[in-house]
Structure 1
Amino acid sequence: MSVPTVVRYGADTRWVQKTVNGTVPCTNAFFGTDPAPFVVKSCRVA
């Protein structure tokens, strides 16, 4: 059973977040935007 988790995606001070269940891809497509164009981004549990 997975628990809803807030995941942040971005870099530096530019982040977007979603509440997700289970494993999700750390991609622009999944999060629906590119919060930091031309910068390597990462996912973090908020």
Structure 2
Amino acid sequence: MMDDDITYPLQTLKDNVRLLTPDVLDKINTLVVQVGHKLLMKKKLRTMRH
């Protein structure tokens, strides 16, 4: 769960973005795509049942 009321200093964001290597970004991308495909399949199955 995310708390939208949290704010971070700009420097903290800049420091953390530097840690996102191409390998880490590829892994994040793969996970996001996998979850998106699962959600689409669930939606497709729900519409087929009705």
TM class by shorter chain equals under 0.3
What is the TM-score when the length of structure 2 is the normalising length? 0.19
Higher RCO (CA-CA < 8 Å; seq separation 6+):
1
More strand by share: 1
What is the TM-score when the length of structure 1 is the normalising length? 0.20
| Greater Rg by CA | 2
More helix by share: 2
